[in-house]
Homo-oligomer: A and B are copies of this chain.
């Protein structure tokens, strides 16, 4: 019933390079921006982000975000939850999440 939390790095072990690499991708940045915008930090389903990519690729992106220490993944077997590691991120890299709000969401180049 209660999903098990997939492992990520400890709060003190967050690597700035890995974080920047994770946020360099448009889709991953979109996910994290959506998570950071919700101040209640609700757990969300993986398919609630409207990513225009296949589910295999989504799996890849969520894994990158988790291994960078930005999100927790909760495995329920046949579905998965995602939660922002806001406290850990703010502790190690204060102000990082606020930067994501400085970018207008869905800023994909037209044409």
Contact = CB atoms under 8 A, between A and B. Distances in A.
A102 B16 contact: yes
Copies in the complex: 2
Interface stretch (A1-9, A37-45, A79-87, A92-100): A92-100
Interface string A62-105: 00000000000000000000000000000011111011101100
Q: Is the interface of A mostly helix, strand, loop or mixed?
A: helix
Interface residues of A, number: 18
Given A16-B29, A96-B99, 12 more contacts: A16-B102, A17-B29, A20-B29, A21-B24, A24-B24, A92-B102, A93-B99, A93-B102, A94-B95, A95-B95, A95-B96, A95-B99
